Structure 1
Amino acid sequence: MNIWILNHYAHPPDLPGGTRHYDLAQELVKRGHRVVIFASSFHHYLHREVRLQPAEVWRIEDVNGVKFVWIRTPSYQHNDRYRVQNMIAFAFHVWQLGRRLPKIAPEIKNPDVVIGSSPHLLTPLAAYAIARRYRVPFVMEVRDLWPQTIIDMGELSAQHLITKALQLLERFLYHRAERIITLLPWAHEYITACGVPRGKIVWIPNGVDLSRFASVADSHDSDEVFKVMYLGAHGQANALDVVLQAAQIVQNQGYSQIKFILIGDGPEKPKLKKLATELELKNVEFRDPVPKDKIPEALQEANVFIFNLEKAEVFKYGVSSNKLFDYLAASKPVIFSVRSSNNPVEEAYCGLTVPPRDPQALAHAVMTLSQMPKEEREAMGRRGREYVEKYHAIPVLAEKLVRCIEDTR
């Protein structure tokens, strides 16, 4: 099959960010399929052009057998109107290019199916238009429940005209899609409430390419420094101010051997650095984001990971975060601080769970794990690794994707 995937924020592993579609595409290529990923060449976290030369508007790049079509879009630095312009530009240009690409680039064949991935809804809309152009099935992938997530995070009112327009578009796309892929385990409850038949909805969560961890040497626990790591986006939803407040409690309790390491970038990072200074934290280190293929090496430095999200209603449909499965693949305990309908850490018995927005509970969990015998922490890490091998390895998820696509034909 010729499979086209439209994902505004798709990345190959040499860049920071999620590689869900690249990882799945690589597995599909191994099985004889041809996959083309359309993505913006402006990097959301690095805030710069990463793939195109100044004179280029678009370009095809082969990354280990997976074709990326990079599309130039306007730059932005914050979640403001310039980012909205970037979204609109990507959707328009990918639609313009997609409907004629096989004619001007013979190595790209007509699609047999077109997948449009959120979070924002303009990319699935462009995918729907392209699918209609080639008279092939349109599959919508829902990575975030927009606009509900925006409402729950307090960024837009439920009564705002933009919200109403997004809800109309959301329902339009749900009903036009042959299949709807959700990453969240209980998102079907939200989508069926929009009048969509349950049989159209398929759950394919995020996963991890375990081969990236195969050559990484495991670091042994140090008796001198106990490292608590967060690696991921520094956005509003990540509630990292709570981690800093927990670090202050740990510091005030005299646990000088515990160090917090925050790796990544995002709109909240300047505020977080300022807060760390105000709290006079000596036990927190901020680091730049790392490419996806360097994450396994970075994770091995930690003793414990924190998976932390804002206390928001939208997480009642579950969570499926790339970073969580990377954590589990690294065979280290995880502190899970989310109010969600699913809890992989609890299911796998591979860490501790604390309520969100509770720095005291988070600090207590960190101190508890630091005092726990090393053998117990290692056992937790092994159980987490076994869990992702069984349920979130890329070949397992690719098989689900193939079945989903075949059901549309």
Structure 2
Amino acid sequence: MNILLINHYAGSDYHGMEFRPYYMAREWVNMGHNVTILAADFSHLRKKNPEIKENIQEEIIDGITYVWVKTPEYHGNGVGRIKNISTFMYKLRMNYKRIADKYKPNAVIASSTYPLDIYPAHRIAKRAKAKLFFEIHDLWPLTPMEIGGYSKNNPAIVILQRAEDFAFKYSDKIISILPNADRHMKNRGFNTHNYVHVPNGIIVGEKKKAPMEKTIETLQELKEQGYFLVGYTGNHSPANVLDTMIDAAKITNDEKIKYVMVGNGNVKNQLMEYAKTNNVNNVEFLDPVLKDNMDNVLELLDICYIGLKKQNLFNYGVSPNKLFDYMMAGRPVIYAVEASNDPVKDSNCGITVPAEDPEAVVNAVMEIKGLSEEEKNRMGQNGKDYVLENHTYHGLAVKFLDALK
């Protein structure tokens, strides 16, 4: 099968996030399929962006054909990002015949976070006489409406809603990372007979040796000093409400418990100032590490923490990558999330607490700390077994491929 996947932000092991298109594509290539990924050459998510000279330039990465589309750089979520998206869409529209004729896809997948790429995907699929698929990551425009408070009459929201409705109407299948996004389809008045859930996942057996980093040295020192470490790894953004973790640290009476935050983000400085202002001394803010070192970080944590803001949006479910990384590392998890799905409860790999409730977090920390080593290990193993059964990228790629067929 010739598969064409359009994802504005697609990355790779060599470029950084986003990884899902790369891992899916690599599995499909290993199964004997031809896979082409259409992506913008500039994304704020990547650690390293490709350097291209042509408007559209091809590169082979691990057997996957990447087609990079030249777009302007940007910072933040302002006019620059809108220009970047508009340029990507315009160049795909102007070159859809060339793309369809050269790569001859049997399946075309529109897979960007925003739904506008459904339009060039539809044109390419129609010309190539291919099946059209729409992959839901976050629900747009519902996400900016719920989180950003945008009106449904906002011009940008109207444009995004038309694109999403177009995708629901004309796609042969709707594939969603979120387990209950079909409820949103029903709310929009669409039939869900063609809906398939394919969650996020993990890669197994690819542990690579990475150089020692300061963050790991600091964690090792804390362990040697006898600290029990409750850790968060990932983006420091408003959605992750890490002030809840700081508040939990403040009311924790056990002096041998440390709360650790590993990563960067647009509110990290605010969080550090918040901890300082409130005299919270049992919190450590550490630098992010290389992807290949994340396992080494997780092995040094006694509990892994994940939290999200209270949002009606999560009635459609969540599929956070970091949760599956935590579970694969065999760590007990505190899950401060209120959503329609709960992998932690389903797998019995930790404790689920209400979102934005620091006292509940502290109670969960103390409960897990009080368990025997055997009980903690069993809890961690439960999570690992669950992920291996439900969230390996090989299994997910097979499920996705079945949907394409």
**TM-score, structure 2 normalization:** 0.89
Residue in 1 that maps onto 2:73: 75
- Residue in 2 that maps onto 1:356: 355
For the 8 Å contact 2:15–2:50, the answer to whether it is kept is: no
Residues 27-176 of structure 1 correspond to what in structure 2 (within 5 A)? 27-45=27-45, 50-52=49-51, 55-101=53-99, 109-176=103-170
Note the C-alpha offset of 1:291: 4.6
Q: Which has the higher contact order (CA 8 A, sep 6+)?
A: 1
- Which residue number corresponds to residue 207 of structure 1? 201
Are positions 1:236 and 2:238 aligned together? yes
User: Residues 328 and 388 of structure 1 are in contact (CA less than 8 Å); yes or no, is this contact kept in structure 2?
Assistant: yes
Equivalent AA in structure 1 for residue 397 of structure 2: A
Deviation (angstroms), 1:102: 7.1
Q: Please report how far the alpha carbon of residue 372 of structure 1 lies from its aligned counterpart in structure 2 after TM superposition.
A: 2.7
The aligned residue for residue 339 of structure 2 is 340
Unaligned runs of 5+ in 2: 211-218
- Mapped to 2, the partners of 1:334 and 1:161 lie a distance apart of 41
Change over 3 Å in CA distance of 1:158–1:128 after alignment to 2? same
Residues 276 and 207 (structure 1 numbering): CA distance in 2 closer, same or farther, change over 3 Å?
same
**Cross-structure match for 1:179:** 173
> Equivalents in 2 of 1:182, 1:210: separation in Å?
22
Structure 1 pair 82/339, CA: closer, same or farther in 2 (3 Å)?
same
Query: How far does the alpha carbon of each residue in 1:313-372 deviate from its partner, in whole angstroms, 9 at most, with x for none?
Result: 010111111111111111111111111111000000000111001122122222332333
Distance 2:240 2:266 in 1: 11
Shift of 1:205: 0.7
Displacement of 1:88: 2.0
For structure 1, which runs of at least 5 residues remain unmatched after alignment? Answer: none
Q: Which moved more, 1:162-171 or 1:322-331?
A: 162-171
1:45, 1:266 within 8 Å by CA — same for their partners in 2? no
Q: Summarize the Cα distance change of 1:20–1:294 in structure 2 as closer, same or farther, 3 Å threshold.
A: farther
1:340 maps to a residue whose letter is A
Distance 1:164 1:266 in 2: 30
Amino acid at match of 2:72: P
Deviation at 1:290, TM superposition (A): 4.0
What is the CA distance between 1:289 and its match in structure 2? 3.8
Which stretch shows the higher mean deviation, 396-405 or 69-78? 69-78
1:222/1:26 CA distance change after superposition, 3 Å: farther
Q: Is the 8 A contact 1:18 1:322 kept in 2?
A: no
Q: Matched residues in 1 for 2:15 and 2:370: separation?
A: 36
The answer as to whether partners of 2:6 and 2:121 remain within 8 angstroms in 1 is yes
* C-alpha distance in structure 2 between counterparts of 1:234 and 1:70, whole Å: 29
**1:127 aligns to what SS in structure 2?**
helix
Deviations 1:86-112 (CA, angstroms, capped at 9, x unpaired): 222222234444542477xxxx63211
1:221-260 mapped onto 2 (5 Å cutoff)? 224-250=226-252, 253=253, 255-260=254-259
Distance in 1 (CA, whole Å) between partners of 2:274 and 2:95 is 45
Structure-2 separation of matches of 1:240 and 1:99 = 47
Q: How does 1:316-395 map to 2 (within 5 A)?
A: 316-395=315-394
Moved more, 341-350 or 110-119: 110-119
Amino acid of the residue matched to residue 372 of structure 2?
P
Distance 1:56 1:299 in 2: 41
1:381 to partner: Cα distance = 0.7
Secondary structure of the structure 1 residue equivalent to 2:17: coil
Contact 2:28 2:397 in 1 (8 A): yes
Whichever residue aligns with residue 192 of structure 1, its letter is K
Between the aligned partners of 1:270 and 1:93, the Cα distance in structure 2 is 38
Change (3 A) 1:158 1:199: same
Mean CA deviation greater in 80-89 or 18-27? 80-89
Question: Relative to structure 2, which stretch is displaced further, 274-283 or 140-149?
Answer: 274-283
1:116 to 1:331, Cα distance in 2 relative to 1, 3 A: same
What SS is found at the alignment partner of 2:205? helix
**How far is the alpha carbon of 1:59 from its aligned partner?**
3.2
Aligned residue number for residue 10 of structure 1: 10
Letter in 2 for 1:379: R
- Other structure's SS at 2:258 match: strand
Distance 1:97 1:231 in 2: 40
Q: Alignment length, in residue pairs?
A: 395
Q: Specify the alignment match of 2:397 in structure 1.
A: 398
Partner of 2:216: none
Q: Tell me if structure 2 keeps the 8 A contact 1:2–1:113.
A: yes
Cα 1:375–1:365 change in 2 (3 A) is same
1:294 deviates by 3.8
* CA 268–78 in structure 1, closer or farther in 2 if over 3 Å, else same: farther
Query: 1:260–1:31: structure 2 CA closer, same or farther, 3 Å change rule?
Result: same
The Cα RMSD (Å) is 2.5
How much identity, in percent, do the aligned residues show? 35
Q: Give the CA deviation at 1:400.
A: 0.9
Letter in 1 for 2:206: R
